[in-house]
Structure 1
Amino acid sequence: MTVSPRRPKGPPLNAMRAFEAAARLNGFVAAAQELGVTPGAVSQQVKALEDWTGTPLFQRNPQGVLLTAAGQALLPSFVDAFDALGAATQALRSLRPVQELHIAALPSIAQLWLPQRLDRLRRALPDLKISVTAMEEPPNLNRELFDFAIFYASPEERPEAALVLQGDRIFPVCAPAVAAGLNHPEDLSQVALLQDQTWAGDWTQWRKSSGLVLPNADSGPAYSLYSLALQQAIAGAGVLMGHEALVADALDQGSLMCPFKDLIADSGRQLILVQPPRARRGPAHETILGLLK
């Protein structure tokens, strides 16, 4: 007779993943964003892990959560384990017969900066299958199956291995018909200043850098996507604070103009390209990187 004894079971993988993300990111909300679930789901998974171990891993208080000593002791091994799982998943993916490229990018970058570069990629590598995911927060390339991530970041936020593509210079842009009525920077107080909700402080920052008084700096029409605000600027609805990389094509095409070319400010951010660890880079990585820059 075959003996099949009941073996002890470990905790669910999802519970361990929730703990690792919450511990590494210092909170359930940030972990939920990375994992694509709700903070409540992360909390439940962590509670299940704590019940399994019989030990609290987080201290909960009205301000958030803090790792206990036990949680802190566990974190390094959990990080290494899930990094290794990410590398193994990438190795599996590399076995696919069709070469794929997955790019994560800020929505404005995906819509306004990437298209010309993707055209270059398709012409140079016609067999390459390209996917782009627009997202507000950069993914963790040690875990997620993206080959590149392209975002804006301050020097303090920039990952150590990230490539800086260019600084983020900002300046007003508008349709030629609107520019014709702007003879002096002070004339901006008489037109609608279009606002992008992601970078709500753009106008105030530029105004301070330029030494101007603009009472309407924060009161113009607001848009949840920079590309929407850009289209409204092209349509003549007002003046938008242009981010150099995002408005370059419209300026080249003449659908937008920069009425005050001597008044340019530095936003303090940089356009960066993040790569996965060297061991996870595919055979065409350097070629693709060169075409993206």
Structure 2
Amino acid sequence: MPVSPPTPRIPSLNALRAFEAAARLGGFALAAEELGVTPGAVAAQIKSLEEEIGASLFVRSTRGVTLTPIGQRALPAFVEVFDSLGQAVRDLRQDATPHKVHIAALPALAQLWLAPRLPMLRERLPDVDVSVTAMETPPNLKRVPFDLCLFYTNTTPPGGVQLGSEEILPVCVPELARKLTRPEDLKTVSCLTDIAWADDWKLWAQRVMPEADFSPDGPVFSLYSVALQEALSGAGVLMAHKSLVLHHLRKGELVAPFKTQVPLTGRITMWILPSRHHIKILSDVVESLKQSGSVF
């Protein structure tokens, strides 16, 4: 009689993804953040995989995890496989919805730089449907369903285009500016700070009043847009990124009480995977935003 042995089972895809992410990123917590699960779930998936293959892939210690020799040898192939899977998914999405573009952006850039330019994009590219997701750190475009990234970067990533330089300067409403005749007067008013850019005050003060030992006194915000609204309401002086407040400066809603602007090394940058430069709709969005500097 014929023999029909059971087909060997391939390990769980989730377990393989957990291993690859943890091995590539160097830890269970970072893998969990990328995969959108808990570190405990990553650990459980990897333990299940190790039990199934009959070998340890990580050495656990109080200081974290490191790859075993078996894990080290396996990692390159799994990185290549999941990169290829990501490319296949992107190609599938592109074929299914060729008019859609999804941008991942720093929250402040999404709200205050990109959002004002979306009407211009719709006018220039009426057939393009642009979605925006705000996040604090750039995603790995090889692994997530985003087409473009918009962040401040010190160096231009592969496939990137610099959209503008950045300077910092104090800004406030005109009524408050009249009380500020010299930089040292900032010690007498509320100074508004964005927690992600808390060092901006120090950077500007070191350039303008290096002997003053200045430290800003005022509220700290986790959202730059909230700090900006407080400045617009007259609550204090904001150390501003010029590109994010330029609209309010031109309208006179905010003014710069002092002339000195300090350039930052980080520039507004948009990038795309180099392998996707041939997709015209993506190149058109990047080019339109690049040209928007002459409009805004």
Measure, in 1, the Cα distance between the counterparts of 2:164 and 2:93: 31
Measure, in 1, the Cα distance between the counterparts of 2:114 and 2:264: 21
Q: What is aligned with 2:294?
A: none
How far does residue 31 in structure 1 lie from its aligned partner after superposition? 1.6
How far does residue 3 in structure 1 lie from its aligned partner after superposition? 7.8
Letter of the 1:285 partner, please give it.
Answer: L
How far does residue 98 in structure 1 lie from its aligned partner after superposition? 5.4
Superposed, which structure 2 residues align to 1:250-261 within 5 Å? 250-261=248-259
Q: What is aligned with 1:57?
A: 57
CA shift digits 1:155-198 (9 cap, x unpaired): 3xx53433222333211111111111111001101011111111
Measure, in 2, the Cα distance between the counterparts of 1:270 and 1:29: 30
Query: Aligned match of 1:188 in 180, 186, 189?
Result: 186
CA shift digits 1:82-120 (9 cap, x unpaired): 110011111111222551010000111110000122111
Unaligned residue ranges in structure 1 (runs of 5+): none
Superposed, which structure 2 residues align to 1:113-128 within 5 Å? 113-128=113-128
CA shift digits 1:24-58 (9 cap, x unpaired): 11222222221112222222222222222222222
- SS where residue 149 of structure 1 aligns? strand
Measure, in 2, the Cα distance between the counterparts of 1:102 and 1:73: 35
Query: Aligned match of 1:166 in 164, 167, 176?
Result: 164
Letter of the 1:74 partner, please give it.
Answer: A
- SS where residue 242 of structure 1 aligns? strand
Number of equivalent positions: 289
Letter of the 2:267 partner, please give it.
Answer: Q
Letter of the 1:266 partner, please give it.
Answer: P
Measure, in 2, the Cα distance between the counterparts of 1:170 and 1:161: 27
Q: What is aligned with 2:88?
A: 88
Query: Aligned match of 2:275 in 271, 275, 278?
Result: 278
Q: Are residues 1:13 and 2:13 paired?
A: yes
Q: What is aligned with 2:206?
A: 208
* 1:50–1:56 Cα contact (<8 Å) kept: yes
Unaligned residue ranges in structure 2 (runs of 5+): 291-296
CA RMSD of aligned residues (A): 2.0
Measure, in 2, the Cα distance between the counterparts of 1:167 and 1:71: 43
How far does residue 5 in structure 1 lie from its aligned partner after superposition? 4.6
Query: Aligned match of 1:289 in 286, 290, 295?
Result: 286
Residues 281/232 of structure 1: CA separation in 2 closer, same or farther (3 Å cut):
farther
Letter of the 2:193 partner, please give it.
Answer: Q
* 1:152–1:272 Cα contact (<8 Å) kept: yes
Residues 97/67 of structure 1: CA separation in 2 closer, same or farther (3 Å cut):
closer
Measure, in 1, the Cα distance between the counterparts of 2:71 and 2:113: 42
Post-superposition, which runs of at least 4 consecutive aligned residues in structure 1 deviate over 6 A? 1-4
* 1:94–1:282 Cα contact (<8 Å) kept: no
Residues 283/163 of structure 1: CA separation in 2 closer, same or farther (3 Å cut):
closer
Measure, in 2, the Cα distance between the counterparts of 1:166 and 1:34: 29
Measure, in 2, the Cα distance between the counterparts of 1:36 and 1:255: 41
Name the TM-score, length of structure 1 as normaliser: 0.91
- My pick for the range that moved more, 206-215 or 268-277, is 206-215
Measure, in 2, the Cα distance between the counterparts of 1:280 and 1:67: 35
Q: Give the structure with the larger helix fraction.
A: 2
Measure, in 1, the Cα distance between the counterparts of 2:123 and 2:4: 58
Q: What is aligned with 2:266?
A: 269
CA shift digits 1:221-263 (9 cap, x unpaired): 01110000001011111011111221222212221111112x2
Q: What is aligned with 1:30?
A: 30
Q: What is aligned with 1:132?
A: 132
Letter of the 1:24 partner, please give it.
Answer: R
Measure, in 2, the Cα distance between the counterparts of 1:52 and 1:202: 52
- My pick for the range that moved more, 71-80 or 267-276, is 267-276
* 2:277–2:283 Cα contact (<8 Å) kept: no
- SS where residue 198 of structure 1 aligns? helix
Name the TM-score, length of structure 2 as normaliser: 0.90
Residues 167/43 of structure 1: CA separation in 2 closer, same or farther (3 Å cut):
farther
